[in-house]
Amino acid sequence: MRLFQKHFCAVAIWLWAVSASNAQLLVEPTLHIKAEAGSGRVALTLDACGGKTDTRILSALVENKITATIFVTGIWLKHNAAAVAIMRAHPELFELENHGGRHVPAVDTPQKIYGIRSAGSPEAVLAEVESGAAALAVTGEPAPKWFRGATAEYSPSAIAMIRKLGFKIAGFSINGDGGSLLGAKETARRIAAAKDGDVIIAHINQPTHTAGEGVVQGLRALKAKGLTFVRLDDADGVGDEGTTD
């Protein structure tokens, strides 16, 4: 019995070590845009993962003429035609990019990230990226140049595959809303703290979350400071982990 217990414990420790090793392989890339002389530039990126549209944010962007790069999934596109129409009516403001077909993490080994099951294989990663691009093509949007996977975490081998497909991978330097789970006050504080060269990530698909109110407040604060908003396609973005080079 003792021999079995020792063997069982040894196996458990080995499995824990393997699991920890796999977790360490995941990376969360950063992204900055190159600084310019003047009051400063920031890039606002908003994820539309699934669900509905936060019209508080969309209306504020249009009313305040704030440009943004919107990362959309195939799932979100199917159910938000009205929001897409507004975005397409303002091409000077909005750039739609690839957030995947089904909103699964671009990780080519089976595991869960923030409770979401990963793609799990190289073939599944490619399917997620290509189906997201195909969903955008149906809307008549230009072919996407950027990709951001669900959870914004990747295996290095998945990054290499995505880059071979011709996509740059959009990291960020400021997590504005904590996955849309932060309160309005903290979200506003984080976004308002952005400075020249920062890339902000937040979400535009959670209309019932208080974080959306904070996104609007933070963006208005940045505009009041005189910062300029740019889309990723209009700026030279530099990411780590081989995501843009």
Residue 39: which pLDDT band, with cuts at 50, 70 and 90? confident
For residue 31, the surrounding DSSP H or E stretch is: strand 31-33
User: Rounded to an integer, what distance in angstroms lies between the CA atom of residue 233 and that of residue 195?
Assistant: 19
- Picking from 176, 177, 173, 146, the residue whose alpha carbon sits closest to that of residue 243 is 146
pLDDT at 10 over 90: no
User: Rounded to an integer, what distance in angstroms lies between the CA atom of residue 59 and that of residue 77?
Assistant: 18
pLDDT at 19 over 50: no
Mean pLDDT across 46-55:
97
pLDDT of residue 22: 46
Residue 59: which pLDDT band, with cuts at 50, 70 and 90? very high
User: Rounded to an integer, what distance in angstroms lies between the CA atom of residue 111 and that of residue 109?
Assistant: 6
Mean pLDDT across 168-180:
98
Q: List the beta bridge partners of residue 224.
A: none
When mean pLDDT is compared across 15-19, 29-33, 120-124, the lowest value belongs to 15-19
Mean pLDDT across 100-122:
96
Which residue's entry shows tokens 């845009």?
33
- Cα 105 to Cα 110, 124, 135, 165: the distances in Å are 10, 10, 17, 17
pLDDT at 152 over 60: yes
CB environment 208-241: b (16+ within 10 A), e (fewer): ebbbbbbbbbbbbbbeeeebbbbbbeebebbbeb
**8: three-class secondary structure by DSSP:** helix
